[in-house]
Amino acid sequence: KQEVTQIPAALSVPEGENLVLNCSFTDSAIYNLQWFRQDPGKGLTSLLLIQSSQREQTSGRLNASLDKSSGRSTLYIAASQPGDSATYLCAVNRGKLIFGQGTELSVKP
């Protein structure tokens, strides 16, 4: 059974820091991996999608990497801002999305 784990569960950093969020999964047979952002009381917003054949994707200050062989993905956020405060979720796609529990990020001014 595919399991998705995100570490740490919560993270607090000062504004301006570069940071890395981690996602690990147990079965490498995936179609793609998607990173989402969820603000309190809101729905999920897609940030980046990495197909299984890709190694990384970039969007603005965000960079996501994928290493299928080791079952890992990282989301790198450069020059963090208070507006980045949210919960970040990763999900692997094996025909259906399987989500991690998320990392709650707080960026302090």
Partner 1 sequence: NAGVTQTPKFQVLKTGQSMTLQCAQDMNHEYMSWYRQDPGMGLRLIHYSVGAGITDQGEVPNGYNVSRSTTEDFPLRLLSAAPSQTSVYFCASSAPRGKVSTDTQYFGPGTRLTVL
Among 34, 57, 73, 80, binds partner 1 (CB under 8 A): 34
Among 12, 45, 59, 106, binds partner 1 (CB under 8 A): 45
Joined together, the tokens standing for residue 29 give: 């047979």
Q: How far is CA 6 from CA 10, 16, 30, 66, 100, in A?
A: 10, 23, 17, 14, 6
Residue with tokens 């507006």: 83
Stretch that binds partner 1, among 55-63, 64-72, 76-84, 97-105 (CB under 8 A): 97-105
What is the identity of the amino acid at 27? Answer: D
Q: Which residues face 4 on adjacent strands?
A: 25
Among 36, 66, 68, 88, binds partner 1 (CB under 8 A): 36
Q: Which chain residues interact with partner 1 by CB under 8 A?
A: 31-32, 34, 36, 42-46, 49, 51, 89, 91, 93, 95-97, 99-102
